[in-house]
């Protein structure tokens, strides 16, 4: 360690330090995304197949923004998918916000069946626009919301309209907490009498058997109706503040207990399914009938996330059988779970399991006793795209299959449903994003790396053969404007053997003869991995906006990096389990070694005296943890919207990684409990109206820091959500405050007087 410090000191003496940025440089960095976004051409995004499998549409970068185009398998010239001016006019009129044809506010859409309209999502609502007239409207159907998937909002209205049976002969509805079954004329055939406010039938759970012989639904014992109360201090439509309440279950709260109930029409029987196999539910979901109406299945996740079952219920006997039981001494990862009931032959189910230490596909029959592993090896299945029972194939993407490649790059594979004949359909040293056609005869693949712009191809599914190239991104103008791709870097983790992958972003005017202070962009949430692997740096996929934000910060005279340490997802089960009941770890032992290896490799990588760190949400929690628990290494931090004490955060994310019941492991991961350990410089930023993480978590950290007599900076954004800003103004302001903070405390330079009128 002494050798490394002396070596770093010699480098510091030999190389000049980057000069501090002026006001113009900071403003230019703040505008980087807007200046660079229009400079790409022929970047294809978000391809979508039509249901017939013969045509597809996609978003393509063009002069001034993006247009949607449509193309067919036959290779006819691409055509505009619709009249963009007309749609822009319709959305603008309906929303009161002005939209341009080249900058429509959605990434994907679907044609309606007759292709007379398109549907898409805008601000979490479903919209439809007619294509012949500028008529757009919100068509979101009213549904009773469920807070983080486990507690229903009983204050919301529920659609009470009847659900008709597939044969059109019967209608089922819930009224007064009970189920009513009526015939075509509305005559009552059956009515339950055991429903009440504390044990009610859920109308949104009704599932008819395909042959109309039976239906199932769930009876619900409601959980804790915990509400978070926020004050909107500066509403846009009135002077006085408003009070906002949100249903927000937290770790340890009682969840809704769902009891599946089978109702058979001919016998007029109402049978609750015996719950011995699902007696302690965190959630019961994905209730699905077999196509022959012989049975239904559902997924049971046990409280604590250490057991998951796929339950099979025989419709004739109402007997429940566990087709699959997944047990783990740490956690069963609900965030990456997959299963699909089979409809043919011995039926059964295909599911994803980490039981051998890696995520792989398994199959069992309807008895649950005949187990078969379909894939195996020191690599992981990432996404199941389709199961074709007629052809006997499973289509999926996987990463880590090619040991010489980045272990996060996804490739496309096919394996026989009976096991064997694993076929790789892509193999380039790049990340692949695949959209399989509905008939599984073709696929569209976009491959790229952070240093390789998108190439989009149409390929044949049988053997992966190329049919034609659909688009090849042109970034010549982006490159001429100064864009340089991030630099991947790999170092060994805490065990001395595992590769830890990250990215290094340098300033546009990078000078290898100078020394640059280092800032880490951290997100260590165990639900995913976060270092971008594909090219697009502008935010239409996970990690995109991080790259352009990292570049903007780097342009002010920093090296900015992002790392996936142990405890994040998409590697082995052991790699992931590091996070179990220890979110304070955040992969810091791996991250620090990675930084030290980079400093040993590059003379311009300056870590002596400590580095900077910033992050949002779980990344905000990790940012504070860095300053508390690793103050000799991290000395300046900007924490956004942090879940600083996991007992204060949402139930779903926290019980998954910290377990149940709530115990000392929650306090051990709390940075509020350890606030007195703060060293270095900290800026805390939070949106007043954060609906993802209770804003009180931030104020409790502030309170603890004050009680510990610690100095820190605090910025609360009125009306700000989890993403902090409610419009471009606050977002730009918040980013500028972050930039200023790092310039002052990491570069030791004065920042502009922004209050001075120019």
pLDDT tens per residue across span 648-701: 999 999 999 999 999 999 999 999 999 999 999 999 999 999 999 999 999 999
Domain count, the chain: 3
The enclosing domain of 558 has a CATH number of 3.40.50.1820
Residue 4's pLDDT is 41
* Whether residue 491 is found in the same domain as residue 617: no
Contact between residue 381 and residue 398 where contact means Cβ atoms under 8 Å apart: yes
The domain boundary, picked from 578, 608, 638, lies at 608
Residue 676 within a domain:
yes
Whether residue 544 has pLDDT greater than 80: no
Nearest to 361 by CA among 390, 334, 382: 382
Residue 348 within a domain:
no
Residue 755 within a domain:
no
* Whether residue 567 is found in the same domain as residue 632: no
Residue 339 within a domain:
no
pLDDT tens per residue across span 303-332: 999 999 999 999 999 999 999 999 999 999
543 — pLDDT class (breaks 50, 70, 90)? very low
* Whether residue 738 is found in the same domain as residue 619: yes
* Whether residue 745 is found in the same domain as residue 640: yes
* Whether residue 91 is found in the same domain as residue 122: yes
* Whether residue 498 is found in the same domain as residue 586: yes
Residue 696 within a domain:
yes
Distance CA 141, CA 264 (A): 29
Q: Which domain holds residue 634?
A: 613-749
* Whether residue 622 is found in the same domain as residue 740: yes
1 — pLDDT class (breaks 50, 70, 90)? very low
**136-138 and 125-130 strand pairing:** antiparallel
Residue 570 within a domain:
yes
pLDDT tens per residue across span 44-91: 999 999 988 899 999 999 988 999 999 999 877 899 999 999 999 999
The domain boundary, picked from 118, 140, 162, lies at 140
Residue 656 within a domain:
yes
Whether residue 178 has pLDDT greater than 80: yes
Residue 654 within a domain:
yes
Direct distance between the N- and C-terminal alpha carbons of the chain, in angstroms, rounded to an integer: 49
Full 3-state SS string of 251-288: CCCCCCEEEEEEEECCCCEEEECCCCCCCCEEEEEEEE
* Whether residue 47 is found in the same domain as residue 30: no
* Whether residue 617 is found in the same domain as residue 719: yes
Enumerate residues 6+ apart whose C-beta is below 8 A from 711: none
* Whether residue 633 is found in the same domain as residue 594: no
The domain boundary, picked from 117, 140, 163, lies at 140
Q: Mean pLDDT of all residues in the chain?
A: 94
* Whether residue 629 is found in the same domain as residue 604: no
* Whether residue 655 is found in the same domain as residue 593: no
Helical spans, DSSP H, in 37-172:
84-95
């Amino acid at each position: 360690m002494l050798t490394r410090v002396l070596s770093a000191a010699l480098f510091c003496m030999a190389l000049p330090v980057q000069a501090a940025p002026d006001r113009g440089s900071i403003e230019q960095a703040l505008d980087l995304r807007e200046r660079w976004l229009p400079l790409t051409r022929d970047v294809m995004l978000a391809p979508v197949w039509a249901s017939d499998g013969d045509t597809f549409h996609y978003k393509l970068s063009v002069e001034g923004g993006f247009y949607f185009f449509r193309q067919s398998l036959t290779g006819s010239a691409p055509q505009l998918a619709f009249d963009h001016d007309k749609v822009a006019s319709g959305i603008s009129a309906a929303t009161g916000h002005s939209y341009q044809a080249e900058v429509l506010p959605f990434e994907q859409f679907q044609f309606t069946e007759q292709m007379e309209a398109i549907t898409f999502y805008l601000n979490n609502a479903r919209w439809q626009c007619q294509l012949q007239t500028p008529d757009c409207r919100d068509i979101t159907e009213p549904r009773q919301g469920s807070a983080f998937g486990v507690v229903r909002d009983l204050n919301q209205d529920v659609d009470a309209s009847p659900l008709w049976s597939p044969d059109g002969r019967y209608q089922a509805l819930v009224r007064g907490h009970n189920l009513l079954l009526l015939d075509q004329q509305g005559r009552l055939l059956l009515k339950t009498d055991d429903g009440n406010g504390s044990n009610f039938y859920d109308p949104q759970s009704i599932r008819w058997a395909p042959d109309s012989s039976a239906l199932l639904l769930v009876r619900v014992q409601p959980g804790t109706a915990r509400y978070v109360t926020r004050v909107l201090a500066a509403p846009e439509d009135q002077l006085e503040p408003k009070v906002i309440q949100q249903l927000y279950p937290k770790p340890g709260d009682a969840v809704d207990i769902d009891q599946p109930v089978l109702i058979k029409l001919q016998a007029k029987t109402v049978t609750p399914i015996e719950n011995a196999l699902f007696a302690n539910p965190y959630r019961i979901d994905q209730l699905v009938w077999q196509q022959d109406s012989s049975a239904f299945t559902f997924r049971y996740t046990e409280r604590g996330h250490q057991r998951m079952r796929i339950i099979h219920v025989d419709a004739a006997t109402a007997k429940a059988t566990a087709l699959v039981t997944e047990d783990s001494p740490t956690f069963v990862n609900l965030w990456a779970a997959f299963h699909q009931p089979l409809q043919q032959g011995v039926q059964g189910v295909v599911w994803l399991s980490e039981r051998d230490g890696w995520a792989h596909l398994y199959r069992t029959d309807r008895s649950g006793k005949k187990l078969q592993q379909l894939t195996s090896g020191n690599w992981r299945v990432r996404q199941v795209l389709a199961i074709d029972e007629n052809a006997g194939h499973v289509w999926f993407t996987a990463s880590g299959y090619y040991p010489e490649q980045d272990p996060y790059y996804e490739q496309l594979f096919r394996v026989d449903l009976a096991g064997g004949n694993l076929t790789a359909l892509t193999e380039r040293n790049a990340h692949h994003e695949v959209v399989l056609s509905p008939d599984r005869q073709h696929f569209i693949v976009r491959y790229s790396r952070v240093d390789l712009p998108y190439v989009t191809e149409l390929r044949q599914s049988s053997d992966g053969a190329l049919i034609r190239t659909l688009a090849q991104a042109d970034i010549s103008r982006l490159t001429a404007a100064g864009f340089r791709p991030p630099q991947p870097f790999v170092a060994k983790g805490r065990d001395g053997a595992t590769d830890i992958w990250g990215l290094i972003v340098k300033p546009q005017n990078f000078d290898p003869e100078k020394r640059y202070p280092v800032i880490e962009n951290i997100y260590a949430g165990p639900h995913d991995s976060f270092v971008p692997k594909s090219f697009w740096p502008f935010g239409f996929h996970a990690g995109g906006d991080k790259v352009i934000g990292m570049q903007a910060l780097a342009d002010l005279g920093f090296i900015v990096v992002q790392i996936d340490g142990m405890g994040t997802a998409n590697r082995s089960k052991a790699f992931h389990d590091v996070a179990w009941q220890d979110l304070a770890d955040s992969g810091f032992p791996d991250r620090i070694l990675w930084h030290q290896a980079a400093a040993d490799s590059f003379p311009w990588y300056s870590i002596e005296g400590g580095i900077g760190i910033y992050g949002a949400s779980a990344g905000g929690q990790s940012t504070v943890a860095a300053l508390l628990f690793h103050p000799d290494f991290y000395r300046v931090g900007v924490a956004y919207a942090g879940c600083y004490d996991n007992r204060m955060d949402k139930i779903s994310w926290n019980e998954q990684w910290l377990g149940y019941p709530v115990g000392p492991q929650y306090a051990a991961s709390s940075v509020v409990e350890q606030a007195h350990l703060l060293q270095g410089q900290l800026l805390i930023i939070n949106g007043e109206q954060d609906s993802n993480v209770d804003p009180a978590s931030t104020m409790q950290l502030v309170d603890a820091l004050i009680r510990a007599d610690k100095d820190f900076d605090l910025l609360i954004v009125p009306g700000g959500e989890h993403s902090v800003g409610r419009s471009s103004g606050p977002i730009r302001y918040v980013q500028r405050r972050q930039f200023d903070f790092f310039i002052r405390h990491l570069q030791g330079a004065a920042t502009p007087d922004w209050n001075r009128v120019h």
